[in-house]
A and B are shown apart, each in its own frame.
Chain A
Amino acid sequence: MKIIAVCGMGIGTSVLLKMNAEKVLRQLGIDATVDATSVAIARESRDAQIILTTPDLVDQLTGLPSEIVPIEHFFDLEEITEKLSASLL
């Protein structure tokens, strides 16, 4: 399963989100990779099951086949766990 973490450039915010999403996935025992990427590249991608991003960027990602999961607080592992569990379990 493919999950992407998306921010404006794909080097900062999305990388932090990727790190914490991978921690959560390990705890949940889910086998998935998380790639950090930019909005521009994410718009071209069709193979991600889930897109993790910040609420501000959701509008720029609508229309893709992926489920979009907005995360407000990137260091709140409980929020990430709750939202990923709702989507995956």
Chain B
Amino acid sequence: MALLTPSKSYPALARAFGENSIRVGAIALDREHSIEMAGELLVASGRSTPEYTESMLDAVAEHGPYIVIAPGIALAHGRPSDAVLEIGLSMVTLAQPVVFGNEANDPVRLVIGLCATDHSSHIDIMAELATFLGDADSVNNVLNAGDSEQIRLLF
């Protein structure tokens, strides 16, 4: 089964997703709730403080649902700040799709959280994230995963 085959082709992603940074099958009430969950996972994995979660919510309030970058996929993040302890990613797969208000790409089933310390040092991670999320098989495997360990095997 492809899902269980370790690929190990995403070493930067494997580092960026810290322990406790992935939650599978979450039930979110709305887009803010799902972004909060992604933020809480960055906090739980030691990459940011709760203030950063607030800035993620502020960003979507200010700039709208553009963070839904592809069908079903949202990338939630705030600005680099003191609330970021270390570069990190988090991931929430949603049991029920959530409408973000993005005409082209709603509803969202996968929320990726991102925190970065500056504008450039996370480039290697973003390059791998672009490849990973651009691969339909990877995204399907993420959405079909029964637990976070199955997702980790994809990195």
**Chain B min CB distance to A30 (Å):** 19
**Interface-side segment among A7-15, A44-52, A81-89:** A7-15
Complex interface: chain A residues within 8 A of B14 (CB): none
Look across to chain A and name the residue whose beta carbon is closest to the beta carbon of B136. A75
Decide if B23 is an interface residue (CB 8 Å cutoff).
no
B114 touches A56 (CB 8 A): no
User: Given A16-B69, A54-B66, A56-B64, are A8 and B129 also a contact pair (CB < 8 Å)?
Assistant: no
Contacts of B148 in A (CB 8 A): none
Indicate whether A32 reaches chain B with its CB closer than 8 angstroms. Answer: no
- Check if B111 is an interface residue, CB within 8 A of chain A: no
Q: How many A-B residue pairs have CB under 8 A?
A: 78
Q: In angstroms, how far is the closest chain B Cβ from the Cβ of A74?
A: 4
Interface of B is mostly: mixed
Contacts of B129 in A (CB 8 A): 16
Whether B79 pairs with A11 at a CB distance below 8 angstroms is yes
Interface residues on A, range: 20 to 34
Q: How far is the CA of A39 from the CA of B123 in the complex (A)?
A: 19
Q: Is B80 an interface residue (CB 8 A)?
A: yes
Check B64 against A11 for contact (C-beta < 8 Å). Answer: no
CB–CB A39/B63 < 8 A:
yes
Interface set of B (CB-CB < 8 Å, partner A) = 59, 62-67, 69-71, 75, 77-80, 102-105, 114, 116, 119, 122-123, 126-127, 129-130, 133-134
Which A residues form the contact surface with B (CB < 8 A)? 7-13, 15-17, 19-20, 36, 39, 53-57, 72-77
